[in-house]
A and B are shown apart, each in its own frame.
Chain A
Amino acid sequence: MADSAVPKSDYGAGEELILAGVRKSYGPATVLDVEHLSLRSGEVVCLVGENGAGKSTMMGVIAGSVEPDTGTVSLGGRSLGGGTLAAQEMGVAMVSQEFPLVGELTVAENLLLGRRPSDRRWFVDRRAIYTAAQKMLERVGLDVETRRRVDSLSVAQRQMLEIAKAIGRSPRVLILDEPTSALGPQESEHLLQLAKEHAAGGSIVIFVGHRLNEVREVGDRIVVLRNGSVVADLAPEEATEHRLVQEMVGKELKGTEGRKAVDDAAPVFTARGLETYNFGPVDLEITPGQVVGVAGLMGSGRSTLLHLIMGSRERTGGRMTLGGEPYAPQNTGDAVRAGLGLVPEDRKTQALLLDSPIRWNITLSALRRISWRGVLLGRRTEKREAAELVRIANVKCQTPEQAARSLSGGNQQRMVFGRWIATQPRLLLLDEPTRGVDVGAKAEIYGLIEQERQKGMAIIVASSELEELLHICHRIVVLRHGRVAADVNRTDFSKERIMASAALGAGK
């Protein structure tokens, strides 16, 4: 504790990582507010919480990539602060979900990037690098050739490599951000073992996890975050799955909006045994005017499902029908012609022509329809069409001629939505429709969804925000490892139930 007389240089037992009064806000939203949290060496501390509960921010604060507005973080009595480099020097190592590996270099070169395992000053001592690398790999039990290029490794191997790199620095604080999401069951098991061993050696291990059974297995303590605050700090015995889900979710929100489940009309779209690499088989159907949610953890295949339906990813199997007719898109053009639309996950890279006018963006998928004889694009026709779409999609702009870049995130998103209002698809696919937009804009996007649904459009929404799906969907399909784990009707909606289906039974 604070009164202990542990010498600062001593990396040994009894050392503590303390977060005191740490707060972080982005604009009006407080994303992290931790009064006091102390983590002792020798412990594996699991951090759980929903998306947006503040886990990433907390990890960022400890690793030095996020600067808190107030409060301090200290390790063994010394303040941690001043960026990621300073934190690294103090002995904090973080394994993030994106691996900062250099694909063109070998395994060994990546492992020792920025370090020099020998006394040679100017030249690279290749032999020393490969021996040192070999040792690091053995430590985590990763069996790959040290001379292989990293871009030839699988995702799971890269994950282990990243962990080998972190552990190789003998960190006093090791942060693992959902390390098992890319791993198979055996590798996951091995990794949990590694985390325990590392902690037993006198370090602090922070394990961020979504799979509750893993969390219970590995953790000495389980800290639950909700809305940026620590709401529970449990011993593994206390942390039943039921309890954890309850703590994460908070008070169960009763369905405020009494949306009825739609009657059993004939489905407008069906899929049977839809498959691709590491995904499926998945069955799905949807009736006109229905909103179906797709929930699931990261990597469960939410986006994959949408892209398979849209024809933008290669199918390896399965049959689909649209409006009773067989539907087998070879590319997105086929899909659009058949009456589909997709609002992709990442606006900037997948949807927008940033430097082109709103008009170009909003008419993009409907160009052929509004062209005279399907060839000539009349200026006046297009302008009229664009103005109309801007109005329907409620894009706030001075003129449809201004560049898409000049719009806010919410407006850009509504513009992309407008692109599909223009084609009036029978089935509209939305991938994270409210990512990166503020609360007000969210409500407007929900309004658009409702508006189009009432006109009879069938809508599939994939989202990592469960609240959102509970709010707008008639049905929620829960994916786990690329398969349907549950299909829940609105009358049976419960956050616990969906979270449990998405998170439990990992790796099986």
Chain B
Amino acid sequence: MKTSGTDTAAVVLPSRSMKSAWSRALRRLGDSPEIGIIVALVMVFAVFTITNPLFASISDLQNPLGVDFAGFGILAVGESLTIITAGIDLSVGSLTAFFVVASAWLNVTAHLPMLLALLVTVAVGALWGLWHGWLITRLGVAPFVATLVTFIFAVGADEAIAPSPIPISSPSFLAISDSTVLGVPVAVIIFLVIAVAAWVFLERTYIGRELYAVGGNPEAARLAGIPVKRRLMLAYAVSGACAGVVGIIEASRLTSGTADSVSGWELIAIAAAVIGGVSLRGGQGKLIGVVAGAALLVVLRDGLVAINVNAYYQSMVVGLVLLAAIVIDRLRVQRLERASRRQVRPDRVEG
């Protein structure tokens, strides 16, 4: 950029000029995409509120928006773990639809107690994820392909289980989506718990760090003594379990296990992760960005409805936001690479 020559010196010799303060701020922004996405979120929210003063009130968390946010958010958290390992999980949308039906079936048709039914649902999600991990690590199947198989399979599986909707009567099951604690919907609380747990995992446990290493450079991770295959399995298992949780939340909201209830959610999850700064090349990204990315997508969608924008345009806007996120990510990488090329020469001489 502009500061090419002084780029590295800036940190050591802070200059008081406005220009360098500004360029430093810009660089900060470039270094941590999370800040950028949070700023964008606030700005978008502000624009909608100004355009339509009712927006702020309808978008409080008790609105269905809150449940949507929880659903997208939880999927995005699981998805981002797989993307951090330089993989991808295409199955989560279709698995969610499957678990909508499966959780209702377990509770209603199979007469399992509610809590047990939900636990089994999440456990099956985790096992399904482990299966993806197994395909990927033992057979060397590309993550895209391994999860695509499930994507297709699960679409059929949910209709096979429930040709017609399975109505849910258990009040505690239904409470997941329509009751609140201190004004916050239970679904959102579940999301927050998952998000905090994932944050602790990624930022504050050694296994979380190893996950980044596996995504950043699998061979380096292996030679550093990290059990690469186990870490990969874990990421896919968590992603599968997240799909189970979201399936339960959606079943509760729909009050029945209905086939084909959601579609395309895996793409929203991927978009939220990428917009939030999780690099598709792996090894990069923070949970706070993922949450902000999911929030931005929900606010955009809902906000565009609130100001009466046609549904076609909604998708187009989301597409453009994704494009912007990807372009910013690439520019950041290129800048880093340029910086490293510059660095080589002076150091050579110094030795």
Give A residues with C-beta under 8 Å from B.
27, 310, 312, 331-333, 335-337, 342, 344, 349-356, 360, 364-365, 367-368, 371, 374-379, 396, 398-399, 403, 405-411, 419, 438-441, 443-444
Residue of A nearest to B342 (CB): A406
Interface pairs (23), CB distance under 8 Å: A312-B223, A331-B227, A337-B225, A344-B223, A349-B217, A350-B223, A351-B217, A351-B220, A351-B224, A352-B217, A355-B284, A355-B336, A356-B283, A375-B205, A377-B203, A377-B208, A377-B209, A398-B8, A406-B343, A409-B344, A410-B347, A440-B351, A444-B351
A415 CB, nearest partner CB in chain B, Å: 12
Q: Is the Cβ of A438 less than 8 Å from the Cβ of B223?
A: no
- Complex-state Cα separation, A441 to B203, whole angstroms: 33
Q: Is the Cβ of B220 less than 8 Å from the Cβ of A376?
A: no
For window 210-266 of B, CB contacts with A under 8 Å fall at 210, 212-213, 216-217, 219-227
Q: Is the Cβ of A377 less than 8 Å from the Cβ of B206?
A: yes
Chain B residues, Cβ within 8 Å of A353: 212-213, 216-217, 220, 283
With A351-B223, A356-B212 as contacts: A377 and B347 at CB distance below 8 Å: no
Q: Is the Cβ of B212 less than 8 Å from the Cβ of A332?
A: no
Chain B residues, Cβ within 8 Å of A411: 347
- Pick the 6 closest A-B CB pairs, nearest first: A440-B351, A336-B225, A408-B347, A367-B206, A353-B216, A405-B340
Residue of A nearest to B12 (CB): A398
Chain B residues, Cβ within 8 Å of A368: 206
Chain B residues, Cβ within 8 Å of A377: 203-206, 208-209
Chain A residues, Cβ within 8 Å of B221: 364
For chain B, give the interface size range.
35 or more
Residue B339, interface by CB 8 Å: yes
With A406-B343, A408-B347 as contacts: A355 and B209 at CB distance below 8 Å: no
- Complex-state Cα separation, A396 to B343, whole angstroms: 12
A351-B217, A398-B11 known, 15 other contacts, Cβ within 8 Å: A27-B348, A332-B223, A332-B225, A344-B220, A351-B223, A351-B224, A355-B336, A356-B216, A360-B209, A371-B206, A398-B8, A405-B337, A407-B340, A409-B344, A438-B348
Q: Is the Cβ of B209 less than 8 Å from the Cβ of A408?
A: no
B208 CB, nearest partner CB in chain A, Å: 8
Q: Is the Cβ of B224 less than 8 Å from the Cβ of A332?
A: yes
Residue of B nearest to A403 (CB): B336
- Complex-state Cα separation, A354 to B216, whole angstroms: 8
- Complex-state Cα separation, A367 to B12, whole angstroms: 29
Residue of B nearest to A344 (CB): B223
Cross-chain contact of B223 among A342, A439, A441 (Cβ < 8 A): A342
A30 CB, nearest partner CB in chain B, Å: 16
Cross-chain contact of B348 among A310, A406, A408 (Cβ < 8 A): A408
Count CB-based A-B contacts (< 8 Å).
Answer: 119
- Complex-state Cα separation, A396 to B351, whole angstroms: 10
Chain B residues, Cβ within 8 Å of A350: 217, 219-220, 223
Chain A residues, Cβ within 8 Å of B224: 332, 336, 351, 364-365, 419
Residue of A nearest to B11 (CB): A398
Residue B333, interface by CB 8 Å: yes
B182 CB, nearest partner CB in chain A, Å: 29
With A27-B348, A353-B217, A355-B216 as contacts: A333 and B205 at CB distance below 8 Å: no
Chain A residues, Cβ within 8 Å of B8: 398, 406
For window 1-57 of B, CB contacts with A under 8 Å fall at 8, 11-12
Q: Is the Cβ of A406 less than 8 Å from the Cβ of B339?
A: yes
Q: Mark B179-210, 1 if CB is under 8 A from A, else 0.
A: 00000000000000000000000011110111
Chain B residues, Cβ within 8 Å of A344: 220, 223
Residue of B nearest to A356 (CB): B216
Chain A residues, Cβ within 8 Å of B216: 353-356
Q: Is the Cβ of A354 less than 8 Å from the Cβ of B217?
A: yes
Interface centre among B12, B204, B216, B225 (most CB of A within 10 A): B225
Cross-chain contact of B212 among A342, A360, A398, A439 (Cβ < 8 A): A360
Q: Is the Cβ of B205 less than 8 Å from the Cβ of A371?
A: yes
Chain B residues, Cβ within 8 Å of A376: 204-205
- Complex-state Cα separation, A373 to B1, whole angstroms: 45
Q: Is the Cβ of A312 less than 8 Å from the Cβ of B222?
A: yes
Q: Mark B313-338, 1 if CB is under 8 A from A, else 0.
A: 00000000000000000000100110
A362 CB, nearest partner CB in chain B, Å: 11
Residue of B nearest to A353 (CB): B216
- Complex-state Cα separation, A360 to B351, whole angstroms: 24
Chain B residues, Cβ within 8 Å of A440: 350-351
B12 CB, nearest partner CB in chain A, Å: 6
- Complex-state Cα separation, A115 to B8, whole angstroms: 50
B131 CB, nearest partner CB in chain A, Å: 22
With A333-B225, A355-B216 as contacts: A441 and B351 at CB distance below 8 Å: yes
Q: Is the Cβ of A333 less than 8 Å from the Cβ of B227?
A: yes
Residue of B nearest to A411 (CB): B347
Q: Is the Cβ of A360 less than 8 Å from the Cβ of B204?
A: no
- Complex-state Cα separation, A381 to B347, whole angstroms: 30
Interface centre among B8, B205, B339, B344 (most CB of A within 10 A): B205
A258 CB, nearest partner CB in chain B, Å: 26
Cross-chain contact of B209 among A351, A367, A443 (Cβ < 8 A): A367
- Complex-state Cα separation, A356 to B220, whole angstroms: 13
Q: Mark B147-178, 1 if CB is under 8 A from A, else 0.
A: 00000000000000000000000000000000
- Complex-state Cα separation, A443 to B351, whole angstroms: 9
Q: Is the Cβ of A360 less than 8 Å from the Cβ of B206?
A: no
Chain B residues, Cβ within 8 Å of A398: 8, 11-12
Cross-chain contact of B11 among A312, A375, A399, A407 (Cβ < 8 A): A399
- Complex-state Cα separation, A444 to B340, whole angstroms: 22
Q: Is the Cβ of A367 less than 8 Å from the Cβ of B284?
A: no
Cross-chain contact of A355 among B204, B222, B333, B344 (Cβ < 8 A): B333
- Complex-state Cα separation, A155 to B333, whole angstroms: 37
Chain A residues, Cβ within 8 Å of B220: 344, 349-353, 364
Q: Is the Cβ of B219 less than 8 Å from the Cβ of A349?
A: yes
B202 CB, nearest partner CB in chain A, Å: 10
Q: Mark B266-286, 1 if CB is under 8 A from A, else 0.
A: 000000000000000001100
Interface centre among B212, B226, B337 (most CB of A within 10 A): B226
A376 CB, nearest partner CB in chain B, Å: 6
Chain B residues, Cβ within 8 Å of A379: 204
Interface centre among A331, A360, A367 (most CB of B within 10 A): A367
Residue of A nearest to B216 (CB): A353
- Complex-state Cα separation, A419 to B209, whole angstroms: 15
Chain A residues, Cβ within 8 Å of B12: 398
- Complex-state Cα separation, A351 to B47, whole angstroms: 47
Chain A residues, Cβ within 8 Å of B205: 371, 375-377
